[in-house]
Amino acid sequence: MKSESINIGNFNVRYYAVNTLIIGSGAASLNSAVTLDSIGQKDIMIATTKWGAGTSNNAGSDKQTYYKLSLCGSEPDSVRAMAQDLFNGRCMHGDIALCEAQGSVQAFMKLVDLGVPFPQDKFGSWAGYRTDNDPRARATSAGPYTSKMMFTALSEELKKRSIKVLDNHHVVELLTDKAKTKVIGALAVDTSIVNPHNAFVLFNSVNIILGTGGPGDIYENSVYPLSQTGSTGMAFRAGATGQNLTETQFGIASLKFRWNLSGSYQQVIPRYVSTDRRGNDEKEFLNEHFPDYISLTKAIFMKGYQWPFDSAKVSGLGSSMIDLLVWREISEKGRRVFIDYRKNVSWDRKDKFRPEELDPEVRHYLVSSDAMQLIPIERLISMNSPAVELYRQHNIDLASEPLEIGVCAQHCNGGLKSNIWWESDIGHLFPVGEVNGSHGVYRPGGSALNSGQVGSRRAAVFINRRYNLPVPSRSEFLSVAADHLILVTDQADSWLSSGEKSIKKDVLADIRKRMSGAGSIVRDRNKVASAAAEAFSLYREIKEKIGASTTIELAGCFKITDACLTHLIWLEAIKSYIENNGRSRGSFIITNHKIPETSEFSSPFKDIDLCRYDREVEKNIQEVSFRKGKIKISGVKVREIPVQDLWFEKVWKDYLEDNYLES
């Protein structure tokens, strides 16, 4: 696995040949590397933008959830029941749901063995709790930093196994055969090299595992960590198809320090206020939309359990009314919104805590949690003091200042499509983790982490059994890749000769504004159409608008081009769904007009037309591809959960004959 040096155009390029290149160092990538190594495929390496960057190692929440089959108590559970619950989230293929359910125990136990501290009792029972969209108590958690602990445990294992990691390597292009049927390698920029003409790194590889995470870079209001950019555009350029890109999840999060305000942050019933841009004209803007103290406090409390915005939980004074009202203050009225833990919700001009007027379920929870103190910060300290400490560690004292919030993008259920071995429709390319859009409209909380672990293992197993092939010779590889490489290096040359342009920052800010404006929880038909048109014209011009003088700026040019294509494709997907008469669902509502100003108690959002899955556009999985500069969108029927023949002798025979690896 030694590197060599070759010349391409004006660039001196470092060259590697390797069976499997793993891109990214999130929990999914690391698991596929560790699995490959443990099952015998040693010819692997990881290329990652920055060790420690990405969502797994930098995001969390009040109680970050991992979803798996129930493993304790007397409540019955089964692989099929779990698959059914994943499938019930709509627009998820049944065979993938079955794999995620079946693989969950193995994936979970591996993390336990690696040292992730999931709690168990003295009998070894893995106690669980119910999370959103979970009819059984399948969820578990190792605390606010579950995914970080997964990252740490997997990285320690990676080090023990001496798996090669190329840090500071931002992969900028996936290389394919001429017909775009399979990947053959990739090109990266090593941002630690000062001279950009020496910074390209070329990989000739049989397989690529793509673990680049979700599109964190394309939203202005985002709770993705700043270090998570995402690189889905690169896979689209290589010809891979995406699915369910309309299904991003949004929810209330703090802005200065990006963190989900779920669980106890809401259950202690803090006060919500808005101000003008300068911090004046403070107003408890929620109050006028609720008829009484009991319904307002209940909606805030329920936001703790029901964190992501859900269009189906707005009516009837539901908890998602809170997200919509926050969104409206910020996006339509141009105000700032804060959660204030120092004071109670006020009612009748008094901000006294009124336990006797709380909904019985809310009161019971607070009493059981020893959280009946007089003000929200005291209740939060009593119920979950690490939640307060966490903000203190980021220089925010919840006891002395209000917390500015927004409705932020957190995760996309959609992404690239794959088969049951996580191989995309471009052969030998395996999207794992969040970049793989295996889920549909709803998913149980915690199933993203399960999917990342199950999928990355399945990809590794398939590669080892089917694609453990010799790497083509350098000349063979270059004879296929040369034209593509020249195009990319010519583009880099042109950026370097024009030098850094200050406009780059504005371009990225534009992309983010456009996505948060048109592609967030409220999607206005006309606004989406014009945003998609703007995105398209930006995409046509972007290469001329930007330039670079240094290696880091060069990598930045590739990143911004990627973000531009990603946001264009996401917006086109949303536009197509609306134009084909898809209705509000999951984490968005569709409007044709400004949301009316009203002080009616019921809801200013009472005319939400909810998806009933009785139209083709709603029943089918939306697929999006980008080929020859054109975006193609179509609908495919959801595959049912397969009926299995589990007769042991039959399974055994297929296994011994290696037939079980079919897709």
Ligand X SMILES: Cc1cc2nc3c(=O)[nH]c(=O)nc-3n(C[C@H](O)[C@H](O)[C@H](O)COP(=O)(O)OP(=O)(O)OC[C@H]3O[C@@H](n4cnc5c(N)ncnc54)[C@H](O)[C@@H]3O)c2cc1C
Rank residues 20 and 49 by Cβ distance to ligand X and give the closer one: 49
Q: Find the helix packing angle between 293-305 and 320-327, rounded to 10°.
A: 100
Chain centroid to Cα 391, Å, comes to 23
Rank residues 89 and 445 by Cβ distance to ligand X and give the closer one: 445
- Number of neighbours of residue 195 by Cβ within 10 angstroms: 10
Rank residues 62 and 572 by Cβ distance to ligand X and give the closer one: 62
Rank residues 223 and 633 by Cβ distance to ligand X and give the closer one: 223
Following DSSP, what letter does each residue of 342-406 receive, concatenated?
A: SSPPPBTTB----GGGS-HHHHHHHHHTT---SSHHHHHHHHHHHHHHHHHHTT--TTTS-EEEE
Min separation Cβ 52 and ligand X, Å: 8
Site residues for ligand X per CB under 6 A: 23-29, 47-50, 53-56, 59-61, 64-65, 147, 170-171, 211-214, 223-224, 228-229, 231, 260, 410-411, 433-434, 445-449, 452
Q: Tell me the CA distances in angstroms from 19 to 2, 34, 421, one per residue in order.
A: 13, 15, 18
Rank residues 250 and 293 by Cβ distance to ligand X and give the closer one: 250
Rank residues 65 and 424 by Cβ distance to ligand X and give the closer one: 65
Min separation Cβ 435 and ligand X, Å: 6
Min separation Cβ 637 and ligand X, Å: 27
Rank residues 272 and 422 by Cβ distance to ligand X and give the closer one: 422
Rank residues 224 and 285 by Cβ distance to ligand X and give the closer one: 224
Answer left, alpha or beta for residue 629, where phi above 0 means left and psi between -120 and 50 means alpha: left
Nearest to 379, CA basis, from 393, 365, 395: 365
Nearest to 433, CA basis, from 420, 422, 421: 422
Rank residues 155 and 275 by Cβ distance to ligand X and give the closer one: 155
What is the residue whose two structure tokens read 């592609």? 519
DSSP character for 658? T
Min separation Cβ 224 and ligand X, Å: 5
Min separation Cβ 61 and ligand X, Å: 5
Rank residues 379 and 411 by Cβ distance to ligand X and give the closer one: 411
What span, in angstroms and rounded, lies between the C-alpha atoms of 643 and 661?
17
Residues 6+ apart with CB under 8 A from 513: 220
Min separation Cβ 5 and ligand X, Å: 21
β-pair type (621-627, 630-636): antiparallel
Min separation Cβ 600 and ligand X, Å: 34
Rank residues 450 and 464 by Cβ distance to ligand X and give the closer one: 450
Min separation Cβ 208 and ligand X, Å: 11
Residues 6+ apart with CB under 8 A from 603: 289, 314, 315, 317, 321
Min separation Cβ 276 and ligand X, Å: 28
Rank residues 117 and 291 by Cβ distance to ligand X and give the closer one: 117
DSSP character for 121? -
Min separation Cβ 335 and ligand X, Å: 24
CB 69 within 8 A of CB 88: no
CB 97 within 8 A of CB 87: yes
What span, in angstroms and rounded, lies between the C-alpha atoms of 417 and 394?
37
Min separation Cβ 437 and ligand X, Å: 11
Nearest to 210, CA basis, from 458, 32, 59, 35: 32
Rank residues 171 and 528 by Cβ distance to ligand X and give the closer one: 171
Rank residues 407 and 608 by Cβ distance to ligand X and give the closer one: 407
Radius of gyration of the chain (CA): 25
- Number of neighbours of residue 660 by Cβ within 10 angstroms: 12
HEC profile of 503-557: HHHHHHHHHHHHHHHHCCCEEEHHHHHHHHHHHHHHHHHHHHHCCCCCHHHHHHH
389-410 CB burial, b ≥16 within 10 A, e <16: ebbeeeebebeeebbbbbbbbb
Rank residues 212 and 622 by Cβ distance to ligand X and give the closer one: 212
- Work out the burial of residue 646: count CB atoms within 10 Å of its CB; fewer than 13 is exposed, 13-18 middle, 19 or more buried: exposed
What is the residue whose two structure tokens read 């970080």? 148
Min separation Cβ 616 and ligand X, Å: 29
Min separation Cβ 452 and ligand X, Å: 5
Rounding to the nearest 10 degrees, give the CA dihedral for residues 294, 296, 302, 307.
Answer: 180
Min separation Cβ 360 and ligand X, Å: 28
Min separation Cβ 233 and ligand X, Å: 9
Q: Where are the alpha helices (DSSP H) in 176-291?
A: 232-237, 264-267
- Number of neighbours of residue 273 by Cβ within 10 angstroms: 20
